[in-house]
Structure 1
Amino acid sequence: MVKAAVLGASGGIGQPLSLLLKTCSLVDELALYDVVNTPGVAADLSHISSVAKTKGFLPKDDGLKHALTGADVVVIPAGIPRKPGMTRDDLFKVNAGIVRDLVKGIAEFCPRAFVLIISNPVNSTVPIAAEVLKAAGVFDPKRVFGVTTLDVVRAETFTQEFSGEKNPSAVNIPVVGGHSGETIVPLFSKATPAFQIPADKYDALVNRVQFGGDEVVKAKEGTGSATLSMAFAGYRFAESVIRASKGQAGIVEPTFVYLPGVPGGEKIAKATGVEFFSTFVSLGTNGAEKAINVLEGITEQEQKLLDVCTKGLKGNIEKGIDFVKNPPPK
């Protein structure tokens, strides 16, 4: 039996993500939680002829407790998009508070669950989750993941003309670092099967992987962001975690993890100077079994990108940790 919970299930990412999880034959029970509309979303999904029994919960009547109790996998796309007139700092304070409070619920009701964080800014929200779980005495670094799969999905898609693969996901491209802007570092030199990118196309391609979200926001003319592609990426990662938890071997996915708590991570932490970092991770029955160091032998161009990345990442991580240790006045 696998119970999956989606926190933020009524939102732009939450609804398509919940739909994909409902269609997954590995999920037996699907719990949806949000501040509005979840009973309706759950009722709609419950008409789909697939395995998962689906229920929706609201904050009233201990909804979070019921959604989380017994959960094996918790996916968190909760949060708000940036609205007109809102600074990134305003957005951070709102989403950071949402993630903090939801993770407190996880610590209390399902401390052994795999926690998959989509809520932005991932570079800060994952450290927030770690601090909350540490304070509750239940932090297991092997079970807490920042979902950075969309960066890899974009790299696979945007390089298809050079890889020549009919199915873009057949190419394995490491994308390391963080999950925003210049903290995203695609390592095209490490792609397998290998392919060449023309020198005059390289910078534009890196920029497109780093700022692909802006492309979607512009195309949607201010009405939304990358919700459908993010839901696909979140589902892809969640399915991999579930398959690995059931004993399937050889599953490797990119994810933003606490390096000192994952075997192999210390070496990457030493090389980068940061404790949270996205890299390829081998998944197993207990979560992150090994962090895979793909940084050795990268090109000079990639090293420059990595230097910019780690500088920005340090600030993002510190901001998340400080939010928990020195919470802003309400």
Structure 2
Amino acid sequence: MAKPTIALVGGGQIGATIAQLAAQRILGHVVLYDVVEGLPQGKTLDLAEAAPIVNFDLRISGGNDISCIAGADIVVVTAGIARKPGMRRADLIEVNSRIMTSVAAGIKEHAPDAIVIVLSNPLDAMVTLCQRITGFPPQRVIGMAGVLDSARFASFIAWELGVSVRDINAMVLGGHGDAMVPIVRFANVNGIPAMDLLTRKYDGDRAKAQQVMNDLVTRTQNAGGEVVELLKTGSAFYSPAASAVAMVEAVLNDQKRLLPVCALLNGEFGVNGYYVGVPCILGARGIEQIVEFDLTEEEQRMFDHSVDAVKKLVDSL
């Protein structure tokens, strides 16, 4: 059977890492587009030369004209400037909006049937802009945020409890910013509530366990900035790339995975006309179902606050 083509728009750290992970998992042929002359060609040549060692038999190519993505089955957009220390995601909106406007027009022209996954920041605004310009059905234009934020939350819980990260289930909803909403009551270790295990760790002191969990929530909300402050010259790329590849794999292999992604809501969770992070079923058609559930009063308050931040950001477009 013919393999699908995965087009990556943006040849920086995230785009190149996605290319490597997608090739190693043999998800499909890979094409990397970037405006910097020689950059996508050099990175994909280097990756292609690793094929005999890693054992992937795929076409790997790069180009400086967006027409190189022609006919792609799935397009992952990472193009845009990255955060620097002291910057918020929202600070990127002016420059990255111009970049996304051009990129989305190119996708519309050269890959009109593709499913698009957007990683560019500020995420909620950029995925909105991409969908508006391409005119693609909303289920085919998806933002990557919740998968990454949930992975960060899960990691922090695992480290605090001293258990394997593989056994943690966690979910983060809302906008991809400081007001994101980790759903604490759903966090568990193979079905055992994380709060129960934290309480046991602190000898039954529920108040102490709650304070520790609050700290984990805050760290999750600021996790991207924590990496930026440490790197000083860039932002996270390994974990965003791995998160994007999980979504690509769910679509290309029609896995029907339930993942928190940025989706256009039309009444779900009380939101109309905005892209917000919520649980969705991802399959061959992109977002195949938005999965609603009842929020507690506190969760609803946090979610509404996060949505308000998204609205202000998107309305500034």
Shorter chain as normaliser: what TM range? 0.7 to 0.9
Equivalent pairs: percent with the same residue? 31
Distance 1:236 1:125 in 2: 20
Change (3 A) 1:214 1:83: closer
Deviation of 1:169 (Å): 4.0
**Is the CA contact (8 Å cut-off) linking 1:74 and 1:114 kept in structure 2?**
yes
Aligned to 2:108: 107
Aligned to 2:244: 234
**Is the CA contact (8 Å cut-off) linking 1:282 and 1:289 kept in structure 2?**
yes
Distance 1:179 1:226 in 2: 14
TM-score, normalised to structure 1's length? 0.83
Letter in 1 for 2:229: K
Aligned to 2:204: none
Distance 1:180 1:74 in 2: 23
**Is the CA contact (8 Å cut-off) linking 2:89 and 2:121 kept in structure 1?**
no
Aligned to 1:2: 4
2:187 to 188, 191, 198: 191
Question: Counterpart of 2:235 in 1: which secondary structure?
Answer: coil
Name stretches of at least 5 consecutive residues in structure 2 with no aligned partner: 199-208
Aligned to 1:282: 281
Aligned to 2:203: none
Determine if the alignment matches structure 1 residue 145 to structure 2 residue 135.
no
Aligned to 1:263: none
Question: Counterpart of 1:258 in 2: which secondary structure?
Answer: strand
Change (3 A) 1:86 1:311: closer
Distance 2:162 2:90 in 1: 41
| Deviation by residue 1:81-103 (Cα, 9 ceiling, x = unmatched) | 24589897763111111111111
Deviation of 1:170 (Å): 3.5
Letter in 2 for 1:95: N
Question: Counterpart of 1:303 in 2: which secondary structure?
Answer: helix
Q: How does 1:43-82 map to 2 (within 5 A)?
A: 43-49=45-51, 50-58=56-64, 63-66=65-68, 68-82=69-83
Change (3 A) 1:89 1:159: closer
Change (3 A) 1:283 1:91: closer
Aligned to 2:130: 129
Distance 1:158 1:84 in 2: 22
Question: Counterpart of 2:169 in 1: which secondary structure?
Answer: coil
Name stretches of at least 5 consecutive residues in structure 1 with no aligned partner: 261-265, 324-330
Distance 1:5 1:170 in 2: 32
Change (3 A) 1:120 1:48: same
**Is the CA contact (8 Å cut-off) linking 2:79 and 2:99 kept in structure 1?**
yes
Deviates more, 1:235-244 or 1:146-155: 235-244
Letter in 1 for 2:259: E
2:227 to 216, 228, 231: 216
Deviation of 1:259 (Å): 1.7
TM-score, normalised to structure 2's length? 0.86
| Deviation by residue 1:237-279 (Cα, 9 ceiling, x = unmatched) | 22222221xxx4x41111101123xxxxx332xx245632111
Question: Counterpart of 1:256 in 2: which secondary structure?
Answer: strand
Deviation of 1:162 (Å): 5.6
**Is the CA contact (8 Å cut-off) linking 2:101 and 2:130 kept in structure 1?**
yes
Distance 1:86 1:170 in 2: 34
Change (3 A) 1:285 1:15: closer
Question: Counterpart of 2:234 in 1: which secondary structure?
Answer: coil
Aligned to 2:205: none
Distance 1:188 1:85 in 2: 28
Question: Counterpart of 1:21 in 2: which secondary structure?
Answer: helix
Deviation of 1:120 (Å): 0.3
Determine if the alignment matches structure 1 residue 35 to structure 2 residue 35.
yes
Distance 2:223 2:133 in 1: 31
**Is the CA contact (8 Å cut-off) linking 2:128 and 2:274 kept in structure 1?**
no
Letter in 1 for 2:185: S
Aligned to 2:253: 243
Question: Counterpart of 1:278 in 2: which secondary structure?
Answer: strand
Change (3 A) 1:239 1:186: same
Deviates more, 1:112-121 or 1:12-21: 12-21
Distance 1:146 1:235 in 2: 13
| Deviation by residue 1:106-159 (Cα, 9 ceiling, x = unmatched) | 11111110100000000110110111023xxxx211111100121011011111
Letter in 2 for 1:208: R
**Is the CA contact (8 Å cut-off) linking 1:163 and 1:171 kept in structure 2?**
no
Question: Counterpart of 1:178 in 2: which secondary structure?
Answer: coil
Determine if the alignment matches structure 1 residue 293 to structure 2 residue 289.
no
Aligned to 2:154: 156
